[in-house]
Amino acid sequence: MDNVQAGKWKQIKGKVKQQWGKLTDDDIDRIAGNQQELVGRIQEAYGKSRKESEKEVRGFFDRLDS
């Protein structure tokens, strides 16, 4: 998984918050574009497996890029 450039992260972090509403603003700031960190935070907040979380994150970024 790739990291998101800082400028792009500022643009999409609102969409991340919409997609995963249990993530706090502090979580979003700490993620700072690091997709592995996002996966970990989703795992913790939603009780999902790492594999499930990675699939969600990949799908989210694939939809953004299309």
Question: For residue 13, what pLDDT is reported?
Answer: 94
pTM (2 d.p.): 0.90
Q: What is the pLDDT of residues 6-50, one digit of tens each?
A: 888 989 999 999 999 999 999 999 999 999 999 999 999 999 999
Amino acid at 43: Q
Question: For residue 16, what pLDDT is reported?
Answer: 97
- Residue 41's domain comprises 7-65
Q: How far is the C-alpha of 14 from the C-alpha of 19, rounded, in Å?
A: 9
Question: What is the CATH classification number for the domain harbouring 51?
Answer: 1.10.1470.10
Amino acid at 64: L
Question: For residue 66, what pLDDT is reported?
Answer: 77
Torsion angles phi and psi, residue 47, rounded to 5:
65, 30
Torsion angles phi and psi, residue 3, rounded to 5:
-95, 155
Identify whether 51 is part of a domain: yes
2 pLDDT exceeds 80? no
